[in-house]
Chains A and B, each alone.
Chain A
């Protein structure tokens, strides 16, 4: 059996053949589309390592069947930086040491980008902690993650204001 879906993947239009209806978005990215930056941590939506943006919102790629995503816009960690220019969240994660082993990091960063876009947390640390709590970091880099999201959020808000002015 074979099935085709159209995706906008990291800004690029892609026609993707799905070889098996059981394939999740996560395994599509990792095993079939050579985009292993998105990580598998639990495969059942409990850890957040596979967080990507689907139509601009945070989603656990392990919980989505690829076949159901025809027409979706997907952004993964590989699609975040603009060439050499890091996304402000990526830069802030390095500066604030918001990771250790780096395995949950793509998910943390995508989740942070989604959280900032949702606009509910701002730079309030309590709300950031709550909003980032779907992403487990076993190394315990939470202190740095919170600081990084705070700073990126501030920087992006300032830039938006600057752009609007």
Chain B
């Protein structure tokens, strides 16, 4: 038995290259198939009727009118809904909430499904749903944090953030020579991926085929299977392309379950596509928060305490915490820290993770509070942050696996031209008469890993097939994971066939938490390594091989050859090794994930620094973000082109958080009054200019075998605060809620 260490895997041939998207051609020609693009023979269309009150019950539905409409085939209400085999209040997987599937006539939030109409055409089903003309018995609604504050509670339970603390918080407050006590609010936001949630469900006996976008294919299979009493392996879920997820497509939703139920009931394929308005309801959202931040510094402007209390909304029927105070846990060296969360039950759909959950909202408040503290201390905001730079993880003293934040500050500030920024606000007015302001914020996002599996098959022609049920929702998995896979066997990108987005493949895990590339990539890397290990064993144990007798660990793979590292003249082609061993192909498997002991040895985060310039019209108070420079350190960058896109996208989300997005409720009905793209603003192209991204080099030997930290979410973190701070610097007005709108600046 030879040395069983895997041959070394080389990086640099594919990883690090700015390859264009492998799915690019499909996407620009319109042949990339999204879920609702499927129109199987015999299709029925499903449209659900959403509740137009937020609390109470449905007292009447005009089912007869709907059924009488030509083309309507079925109307499903709580009265006649076929039985489900799974309890919708249960949580069959780690990513599930109580699911609203017409259990009864109770309404818990506006937009909750109250009936499902099936029709031969979309037009018929749509009109049928309208004809239901629901009547309600409405109860008073609670849709703002203050509406139910008295019953707020500390969340407890599986998966809910418990908060954190270290040091003596009261002593920290007492030791402060200067302090601030401020409260920031963030609005409820809805993911609004461009592709609304959609599903095409088809049954064949007790086997189910689904076309539906999913950020976690195999988990979704288990979630859906549960409701229908079938084993998860009976569900085939196809999700080759996802039209944006942002956290909203990891969790099966009620309408999707109802569509599957309708398909089983009718024994016909059923398509259900959410309307844009329906994206404000049963698919999760970023819950509104109110955050109190109390910071104190001593005479040396060192933080004595960070005391961050987060209050967030959840629904009346499930718990999800927007863990905003998490943002304060790992970032600055303070003598004492308390990060805590409370929840308020409101008549809204259950919130859920939305791009940068916790950190986005929490950093918005923390970074503005840091700016306020710097102002009180009379210190430049960047200098203040450097003064309180955490060299090790606050509280635990653990070393960081890597942390190039200081370099992010330096490179970002240099590129932006931060030096010479006046401390006082309202000091910069351009020739155009606009007030100019500069602000900055620090970005941090943790580097979680989930679990993923992958399979690699080396073929006799020297090409390889890599398989995992990974998902590309725009972040670039089709390309980046293929790059990692190719490197694992020393092949070029075009020698690799990569299959993903299908539940029959090895479980690719969850695309979320900025952990997909590291996790699924880790599995692919390991699968390739497994093939090399086997090849190496065959070769080094075979007297006919030029590699006979060599130690497996001294082998490397390149261009279809296995080579001895110290003497590259000793080498053999993959294909020759296979043929001599009488094998037509060779399969390896790999697992991606993080060993628990590794997580205990280092604190692991991506970091960044964002610098913003805003221009504010002194009379109209219109705010424009004119420059946004983000410098990020996120471990190994597999594809600089796609990474820049991810980070820019995140920074645009930050701009959106700071200036645009807010769901507004009607205080009487509880309905969201701006539930469409006319009323719920997200940035358009004209809102975005002067965007620059710098990626700071970082080698991280501890975070995972690939050194990848993830870039999906960190772009939004830091940006919100930077913009808020720039607005203060331009105007002298400290607005303590997001989004910041013209009216806030017009107010005296």
Known: A77-B30, A101-B473. A129 touches B193 (CB 8 A): no
Task: Tell me the dominant secondary structure on chain A's binding face.
Answer: loop
Least CB distance, B422 to chain A, in whole angstroms: 28
A41: which B residues are within 8 A, CB to CB?
Answer: 194-196, 276, 677
Residue of B nearest to A132 (CB): B685
8 Å CB contact of A94 from B21, B33, B37, B71:
B21
On whether A97 and B276 interact (CB within 8 A), knowing A31-B39, A102-B474, the answer reads no
Contacts A39-B195, A40-B36, A43-B276; A20 near B121 (Cβ below 8 A) = yes
B562 at the interface (CB under 8 A from A): no
Tell me the smallest distance from the CB of B31 to a CB of chain A, in Å. Answer: 7
Could you say which of B241-249, B336-344, B455-463 contacts chain A?
Answer: B241-249
The answer to whether A38 and B275 have CB atoms under 8 Å apart is no
Select which of B36, B123, B677 is within 8 A of A46 by beta carbon: B677
Instruction: Determine the chain B residues whose CB is within 8 A of the CB of A97 once the complex forms.
Output: 20-21, 641-642, 644-645
| A130 vs B476: C-alpha distance when bound (angstroms) | 27
B24 within 8 A of A: yes
Closest chain B residue to A22, Cβ basis: B123
How far apart sit A91 and B21, CA to CA, in the bound complex (Å)? 12
B28 interfacial by beta-carbon distance below 8 Å: yes
Q: Return the CB mask of B118-137 against A: 1 if under 8 Å, else 0.
A: 00011110010000000000
Cross-chain contact B244 with A103 (CB below 8 angstroms):
yes
Q: For the complex formed, measure the closest distance between the CB of A22 and the CB atoms of chain B, giving whole angstroms.
A: 4
- Smallest distance from the beta carbon of B293 to chain A beta carbons, Å? 28
Known: A41-B276, A97-B20, A100-B475. Contact between A146 and B685, CB under 8 A?
yes
> Which among B193, B683, B688 has the greatest number of chain A C-beta atoms within 10 A?
B688
Q: Is the CB–CB distance between B645 and A101 below 8 Å? A: no
Q: How far is the CB of B686 from chain A (nearest CB, A)?
A: 4
Cβ < 8 Å to B, chain A residues 86-140: 86, 90-91, 93-95, 97, 99-106, 109, 125-126, 128-130, 132-140
Query: Are A101's CB and B685's CB within 8 A?
Result: no
Residues of A within 8 A of B652 (CB): 140, 142
B682 beta carbon closer than 8 Å to chain A: yes
A100 to B196: give the CA distance in the assembly, Å: 16
Interface status of A23 (Cβ within 8 A of chain B): yes
Q: Are B193 and A136 touching (Cβ within 8 A)?
A: no
Does B48 count as interface, using CB distance less than 8 angstroms?
A: no
- Cα A129 to Cα B27 with chains together (Å): 21
A129 contacts across to B, CB distance below 8 A: 685-686, 688-689
- In whole angstroms, how far apart are the Cα atoms of A141 and B244 in the complex? 12
User: In residues 27-41 of chain A, which contact B (Cβ within 8 Å)?
Assistant: 27, 30-31, 34-41
CB distance A101 to B241 under 8 Å? yes
- A74 in the interface (beta carbon within 8 A): no
Please pick, from B31, B273, B676, the residue contacting A40 in the complex, using a CB distance under 8 A.
B273
Chain B: interface size category: 35 or more
Q: A112 → chain B, closest Cβ, in Å? A: 11
Given the known inter-chain contacts A47-B194, A47-B677, A102-B32, please indicate yes or no for A143 contacting B691, CB distance below 8 A.
yes
Interchain CB contact under 8 A, A105 and B39 = no
Question: Among the listed A106, A138, A143, which residue makes an inter-chain contact with B688, where contact means beta carbons less than 8 Å apart?
Answer: A143
Residue A70 at the B interface, CB < 8 A? no
Interface residues of A in 18-65 (CB under 8 A from B): 19-20, 22-23, 27, 30-31, 34-44, 46-47, 49
B23 close to A (CB within 8 Å): yes
Residues of chain B contacted by A139 (CB below 8 angstroms)? 194, 244, 474, 645, 649
Query: CB of A158 within 8 A of chain B?
Result: no
**Closest Cβ neighbor of A80 among chain B residues:** B29
Report Cα–Cα, A133/B273, bound state, in Å. 25
With most chain B CB atoms within 10 A of its CB, the pick from A46, A80, A95 is A46
Residue A153 lies at the interface, judged by CB distance under 8 Å to chain B: no
Interface centre among B30, B195, B688 (most CB of A within 10 A): B30
B376: interface (CB < 8 Å): no
Q: With contacts A30-B37, A95-B20, A136-B677 known, is A103 near B195, CB below 8 A? A: yes
Q: How far is the CA of A97 from the CA of B643 in the complex (A)?
A: 10
Q: Does B662 contact A (CB under 8 A)?
A: no
- Name which residue of chain B comes closest to A149, CB basis: B685
B273 touches A140 (CB 8 A): no
Residues of A contacting B689 in the complex (Cβ-Cβ under 8 angstroms): 125-126, 129
Known: A47-B677, A78-B31, A94-B25. 13 other contacts (CB 8 A): A31-B122, A47-B276, A77-B28, A80-B29, A90-B28, A97-B642, A100-B474, A101-B193, A103-B194, A133-B684, A140-B683, A141-B645, A142-B688
By a beta-carbon cutoff of 8 Å, the part of chain B in contact with chain A is 20-21, 23-34, 36-37, 39, 71, 121-124, 127, 192-196, 241-244, 246, 273, 275-276, 472-476, 641-642, 644-646, 648-653, 676-678, 682-689, 691
